[in-house]
Copies of this chain bind each other. A is one copy, B any other.
């Protein structure tokens, strides 16, 4: 790439670990100047994005390397974007209606993404997600232009992950696959664009994204438990690392829907939760719940709700996840998939629903209110939802077992 002045982005914890050291050694050995930005915030916000953007602008870098999970890769995408477009306001490229959703017309610098968790698939997508603190809502930037130039999907980088992190990241993969496979098909979205090229990145399920979703799901079914159980199971962790990238290619070209749409208020509003095994250093973090957990807790309710639209697809995923569906009736597709998911979550010792992470029935109106602005994803659900439907979904997710 001919880079002479590289920005290496990571977080404080990783900056001391082998994945970052390998990159630094390689840059030094090849005589390439670089600066390290290790202030990436887990679950980034507009102000943490802004801090990274300032760093990028000052550094006048000609290439970026992001080493970390989704938070790091997303922060680096934003830094690259705004440093390449220095006269833009922050909200210019943020998704409407919160931001202006302007198309990205400037050329960006090369970005090499090195994922160290197996969940986000951010190395394959043109999406960068953050908390917009002012409105207490998750939103993001979505443009093919911010997709990393190259992803280095190296399973050795996942051996450091504690089991709980593997599980929660794996749930993100699971839901990326399930949601993109059951999303509204691209030809049923409305309004129908005048030309296929005008479809958004989240264009609905399609024959290409289906392949990635189903394949990622097969890997999750075969390897997630093994990867959680044993940090040295290189076969299982390698496969989960690939599954994360594969599911990313799938949902990055199809979209996600209700589990993700509902997860944003779940992680944004939670009051008391200390995630096990996460080493976090900013004060708000005791209030944060891991993204994958916030996504998966509603999955039994969500797929019970959506299955009436595409029961065959729901049954197919239940079968891949281990259910015996030979005699299942189509109208039972939702409950069968939900039971299969509950069993998986129970086996992996997941918190027993939203109640177990600090929510009660009184919080449901706020959770529903926080879901409504997530239209960009929720409208990709195969079945439209009223506020009452959302209420019922949150209520059904309070207790899983």
Contacts and interface: CB of A to CB of B under 8 A. Distances in A.
Interface of A: 207, 211-212, 215, 242, 246
B212 A242 contact: no
Nearest to A242: B207
A211 B211 CA distance: 8
6 cross-chain pairs, A with B, having the tightest CB-CB distances, nearest first: A211-B215, A207-B242, A211-B211, A211-B246, A211-B212, A215-B215
Contacts of A211: 211-212, 215, 246
A133 to B, nearest CB: 39
A162 to B, nearest CB: 25
A365 B211 CA distance: 43
A3 to B, nearest CB: 15
Nearest to A153: B207
A216 to B, nearest CB: 10
A202 to B, nearest CB: 21
6 contacts: A207-B242, A211-B211, A211-B212, A211-B215, A211-B246, A215-B215
A309 to B, nearest CB: 20
A212 B246 CA distance: 12
Nearest to A238: B207
A180 to B, nearest CB: 15
A207 B241 CA distance: 12
A211 B209 CA distance: 12
For A211, A212, A242, A246, the residue with the greatest tally of chain B CB atoms inside 10 Å of its CB is A211
Nearest to A216: B211
A246 to B, nearest CB: 7
A102 to B, nearest CB: 22
Contacts of A246: 211
Contacts of A212: 211
A207 B219 CA distance: 12
A304 to B, nearest CB: 28
A242 B207 CA distance: 8
User: Chain B CB within 10 Å — which of A207, A212, A242, A246 has the most?
Assistant: A207
Nearest to A196: B152
A220 to B, nearest CB: 14
Contacts of A215: 211, 215
Nearest to A211: B215
A207 B212 CA distance: 12
A293 B211 CA distance: 28
A124 to B, nearest CB: 11
A212 B211 CA distance: 8
A118 to B, nearest CB: 14
A104 to B, nearest CB: 20
A39 to B, nearest CB: 31
A198 to B, nearest CB: 15
Nearest to A212: B211
A134 to B, nearest CB: 41
Nearest to A207: B242
A211 B217 CA distance: 12
A242 B209 CA distance: 13
Contacts of A207: 242
Nearest to A246: B211
